């Protein structure tokens, strides 16, 4: 089965791209971020016609996340348990897969703007709360996938300019420590389980020909809990829709998960 994540930068602007991409890539689960729409605007019907159930946690103008799934979902949870947040950034659901239930946790992590700002402090508090909540979530759900737009480039090789951008947003030691702390919970960065091209990125700035010059960052990730590691068959970044007209600035990331034995 395949599980994907894609920050679409407005589902209103990108609905046709999502539908076109799903026809070419009929993944079992697609996690979306930055819907930029309230729940009542969510295109449930058209996605249903495409074969997908949806669990939605929208927000007007900013943020907003959703899980699309071919199989029914249950136990849908919104935002980080025990953490009060007026921004819609996390949705979780359990998907019944052939090899047993999978807990899907879809996050649109805080951007954080720049170290020293209020937004950066919000990012740090948010990441701390996420980790604490995930600790319990993983105990309850051994087969767990944490995926989405992390807004963290975990290592220097995940940035087009690690020296020039050292200790700037997405590259700070503090953010990277938070990423490592997620791994220490028992999660594995599935992309790095496999050999990958150098300069693999999932986001490119719209400005200054960012994509054409491959000036990007790898900030969209799919982490899997340890029991799922032997089932991971591949993880790729699909740059194709980034070349379409009026693209999202992010590309989808796709994990191929074996059915298991």
Q: How many chain residues interact with DNA (CB under 7 A)?
A: 30
Of 132 and 205, nearer to DNA (C-beta) is 205
Q: Is 191 in the site for DNA (CB under 7 A)?
A: no
Structure tokens at 150: 């992390």
Beta strands in 64-123 (DSSP E): 65-69, 73-78, 90-97, 100-108
Distance, in Å, from the CA atom of 240 to the CA atom of 212, rounded to the nearest integer, reads 13
Q: Is 242 in the site for DNA (CB under 7 A)?
A: no
Stretch that binds DNA, among 64-72, 90-98, 201-209, 221-229 (CB under 7 A): 201-209
**Residues 28 and 71 sit within 8 Å (Cβ to Cβ):** yes
Q: Is 22 in the site for DNA (CB under 7 A)?
A: no
The least CB distance from residue 71 to DNA, in Å, is 28
Considering Cα of 98, then 150, then 129, then 185, what sign does the dihedral take? positive
The least CB distance from residue 238 to DNA, in Å, is 17
The least CB distance from residue 260 to DNA, in Å, is 33
The least CB distance from residue 38 to DNA, in Å, is 8
Mark 136-175 with x for binding to DNA (rule: CB under 7 A) and - for no binding. -------------x-x-----------------xx-----
- 28, 149, 158, 189: the active-site residue: 149
Alpha-helical runs (H) found in 69-117: none
Q: Could you give the strand order of the β-sheet that contains 53-57, starting from the edge strand earlier in sequence?
A: 53-57, 65-69, 29-33, 2-7, 253-257, 232-237
171 is catalytic: no
Is 250 labeled as ligand-binding? yes
Classify residue 163 by burial, with Cβ atoms within 10 Å: 0-12, 13-18, 19+.
exposed
**Residues 144 and 135 sit within 8 Å (Cβ to Cβ):** no
| Strand (E) or helix (H) holding 121 | helix 118-140
> Which residue in 46, 74, 100, 113 binds DNA (CB under 7 A)?
113
250 is catalytic: yes
170 is catalytic: no
Q: Is 206 in the site for DNA (CB under 7 A)?
A: yes
Q: Is 65 in the site for DNA (CB under 7 A)?
A: no
What residues are labeled active site? 108, 149, 250
């Amino acid at each position: 089965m395949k599980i994907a994540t894609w920050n679409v930068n407005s589902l209103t602007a990108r609905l046709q791209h999502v539908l076109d991409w799903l026809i070419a890539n009929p993944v079992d689960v697609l996690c979306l971020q930055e819907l930029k729409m309230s729940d009542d605007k969510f295109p449930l019907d058209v996605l249903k016609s495409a074969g997908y159930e949806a669990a939605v946690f929208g927000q007007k103008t900013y943020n907003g996340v959703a899980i699309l799934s071919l199989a029914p979902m249950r136990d849908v949870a919104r935002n980080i348990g025990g953490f009060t947040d007026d921004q819609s950034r996390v949705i979780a659901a359990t998907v019944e897969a052939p090899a047993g239930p999978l807990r899907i946790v879809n996050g649109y992590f805080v951007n954080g703007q720049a170290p020293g700002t209020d937004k950066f402090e919000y990012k740090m508090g948010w990441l701390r709360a996420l980790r604490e909540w995930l600790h319990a979530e993983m105990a309850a759900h051994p087969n767990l996938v944490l995926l989405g737009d992390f807004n963290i480039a975990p290592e220097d090789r995940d940035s087009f300019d690690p020296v020039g951008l050292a200790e700037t947003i997405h590259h700070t030691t503090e953010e990277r420590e938070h990423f490592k702390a997620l791994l220490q919970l028992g999660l594995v960065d599935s992309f790095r389980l496999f050999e990958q091209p150098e300069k693999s990125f999932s986001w490119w700035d719209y400005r200054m020909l960012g994509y054409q010059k491959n000036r990007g960052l790898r900030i969209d990730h799919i982490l899997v809990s340890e029991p799922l590691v032997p089932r991971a068959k591949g993880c790729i970044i699909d740059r194709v829709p980034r070349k379409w007209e009026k693209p999202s600035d992010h590309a989808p990331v796709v994990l191929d998960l074996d059915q298991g034995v």
